[in-house]
Amino acid sequence: MKKRLVILGSSGSIGISALDVVAKNPERIDIIGLSVHSNIDPLRQQIEKFEPEYVAVSDPDSCRRFKDSFQSDKTVLLNPDIGIEYLAELEQADIVLNAVVGAAGLKASLKTVRAGKRLALANKESMVIGGELINKDAADSGAEIIPVDSEHSAIWQALFSGKKKEVRKILLTGSGGPFRELPLEEFDKITRARALNHPTWNMGPKITVDSATMMNKGLEILEAMHLFRVPVDKIEVVIHPQSIIHSMVEFIDSSIIAQLSSPDMRLPIAYALFFPERIAGDYGYIDLTEIGELNFYKPDFEKFVLLKMAFQIAETGGTAAAVYNAANEIAVEAFLKETIDFRSIPDIIINTVEKHNSVEGPSLEEILAADRWARITAREIMR
């Protein structure tokens, strides 16, 4: 029986990769819902190709422009105020792929798991800031949460090799980004163009900058802690420039299980959509003899202070993660607009977090309030 899929964030790099996976497996999966924020041109083409039942454009101005030229007998355009959340719990859907960028994805993740559906989670921020709520609601409804991040997909797969009590350590790998070898004193010279030139991955601008600051790895630490329900002292970051080993799990018998593949997001996307099956797909078979060697290094916490900060945020708990994430979103947005320099990004985040009094065991409303507060505070710091 064909699976029915909703993609939230279909115009981003994850959404486009997911649609490629769907297009190659038309006998296995149908698209029934798509959403974008404001990038409406790709959506027109996607509607024509996949004929979804519903689409949503969450930015009101973009939705009005889209509606003026939208014509379809097969597809319903949803109101921008409720569109994403409606799709997140769409009755007909079997799977919701949440590829929304940033904290905006939290409500959608909660809607999906409360509806008891499979959540293919690419929006790491929702697990970072609301992991306890998502896990509780998923346990109550029986929803599956399957990670789409390549690292967390690798960990998910490796964990099948043993029991949770047998896990000694999660080894979270990262390429180190484009500035792994750049001396700290040269960080002042980093431009927008340089930060967006990632050595191994083709990603959207926000996550590419996060990779350059290693904030992305910091968020992945917090995501892994909630996804796999392990204490942060069982998570270790390993720099692996080739991005062939996507992460590893070390067990108490001293064995390490790793997942290797080419750096292509279509593979973890396909895994999340079709699990427990593995579907044939040539996403770049690797020849280890051609690769020759794989290298591993310890992270430089002096250069990449946001990575070190993630461990501190994990220890603090509560709403600290929401503030850490929201301040980063504001700082990266400003950097992409070239209104601040690269080295200001961590300064803004650190200053914002230091001003916050974390709330323990927060409700959704308290998480969202902390998120709003952090955005206002980060903007004030930048003035």
The rounded Cα 263 to chain-centroid distance in angstroms is 15
106-133 mean pLDDT: 97
Extended strands (E) in the chain: 3-8, 29-36, 54-57, 76-77, 95-98, 118-121, 145-147, 167-174, 235-239, 245-251, 256-260
pLDDT score, position 282: 81
> At residue 118, does pLDDT exceed 90?
yes
| pLDDT tier for residue 10 given thresholds of 50, 70 and 90 | very high
Backbone angles phi, psi at 267, to 5 degrees: -70, -55
Dihedral over alpha carbons 136, 140, 142, 145 (to 10 degrees): -10
**What's the pLDDT tens digit per position in 260-310?**
999 999 999 999 999 999 999 888 899 999 999 999 999 999 999 999 999
pLDDT score, position 132: 96
225-244 mean pLDDT: 97
> At residue 215, does pLDDT exceed 90?
yes
Are the C-beta atoms of residues 154 and 246 closer than 8 Å to each other? Answer: yes
159-179 mean pLDDT: 97
| pLDDT tier for residue 198 given thresholds of 50, 70 and 90 | confident
DSSP per-residue codes, 229-280: T--GGGEEEEE-TT--EEEEEEETTS-EEEEE--S-THHHHHHHHHTTS---
pLDDT score, position 295: 97
| pLDDT tier for residue 203 given thresholds of 50, 70 and 90 | confident
pLDDT score, position 199: 74
154-164 mean pLDDT: 98
Report the mean per-residue pLDDT for the chain.
Answer: 96
Q: What is the distance between the alpha carbons of residues 2 and 4, in angstroms, rounded to a whole number?
A: 7
> At residue 202, does pLDDT exceed 80?
no
> At residue 376, does pLDDT exceed 80?
yes
pLDDT score, position 112: 98
pLDDT score, position 380: 98
> At residue 200, does pLDDT exceed 80?
no
**What's the pLDDT tens digit per position in 320-356?**
999 999 999 999 999 999 999 999 999 999 999 999 9
149-162 mean pLDDT: 98
Domains of the chain, each with CATH number or no CATH:
3-147 (3.40.50.720), 152-263+285-316 (no CATH)
Structure-model confidence comparison of residues 101 and 98, the more confident one = 98
pLDDT score, position 211: 93
